[in-house]
Chains A and B, each alone.
Chain A
Amino acid sequence: MIDELKILYHHGKQYIPDPTKAVVPAPFRGRPVISDAQIDTAALVDLCPTGAIEASPAVSLDLGKCVFCGECALLFPDKIRFINDHRLASNERQRLIVKAGMDAPIVLNPELVRAEIRRVFGQSLKLRQISAAGDNSFEAELNACGNVNFDMGRYGIEFVASPRHADGVVITGPISENMAEATEICYRAVPNPKIVVLVGTDAISGGIFTGSRALNRSFLNKYPIDLYVPGNPPHPLTFIQGILDLTRKKFD
């Protein structure tokens, strides 16, 4: 007993008091900022391993395709910087594209948030996670969201075992052909209304697996996506912030 108290004392307080105000320290690669500097844009575009960078009309970087290797910023530091702003999630795919000269937070489009999401999930949200060929770093970070540090359970947000008990699915991984059917069966087993959240670059665009013939991403064409959470893997705070913004943020 005494030993345990001692251990507890040394363990201390682990939780982050307010995850919505927490800051991830540099050199965390969060939101990119692109300057108007003149550089060899062809070389920049060619460098990116996943084709996330486009040169025209102005240079832009698609966070839905970016695997956050950071190479563009390391080789073209005058052009691209990654700042430690971890709030990267949006419900609109277009909003994940950062353009030159833009230095504004990435936010949701309130128009696209279905009314029932706020009404039904504003106080409590149970999610069923589907790893559809996720590389296990994505899954580990989602697990971390519920650990003693991030503790998203404080908001009533939890992962549950059965899709029947869930309010939505959280998909990680580029969706392999071999998981395509199971993904769909699981989604269909979730009662309405329900949400779909894509976590990580692999889920959003295929990431480094784009073009692989082992994938089957047809699920994404069939069902509406409520939230995109970029990252490789996304930081737990990115996920928690995105979910909170979707389900309970008051938009002015």
Chain B
Amino acid sequence: MLRSLYIEGNTPFHRLPVRVKLITLMTASIALFFVSSLQILVPTFVTTLCLYLALGLPWREAFGRIGWIAFAIAIVALATWYFNGLHEALALTFRLMALVLLAAAITATTTISAFMDEITVMLQPLERLGLMRAADVSLALGLVLRFVPEILDRYENIREAHRARGLPIRPLTLFVPLIILTLKDADTIAMAIDARGFRRQ
């Protein structure tokens, strides 16, 4: 389910500007791609691991968040070992895990609104070209994160209503009410955005 992965905290990594974090991630992704020396990859991995674990996530949650990706990387690594040998497999594992941990650390220390602000800034050039309104794009992102769980809840409710009335669950009777209810809400939400003064000057 879609949810905010942000973790409250005030570590130095929390305070780092979003832009610095995103540029670091981008640079690291490109740079590590060219590196296959374990003497560099292992320390990089250990550094990102320490960074991630220092954020104060409970152990369970910390491993839960990267579990599936680690599992996928393990499978790829096994295949690489079989086809390209152990060194390649280890290099790939440490490289990808370092990037995953860095990305996870950024997600956990950056609020959605900080991301939104950054997106607004990054899209400024496009706005100046008259192609889009940057604030609208970041608003849209926020709205998706806010209302997807709501829509999923509603889907559940409609399904339960079907079950309670002993009706067979058909796409038509499930999605039509879902869409109508969602559109009705969308109207009110649009009004609320106006009421709260987000309209551009």
A binds B: no
- B residues within 8 Å of A by Cβ? none
- A residues within 8 Å of B by Cβ? none
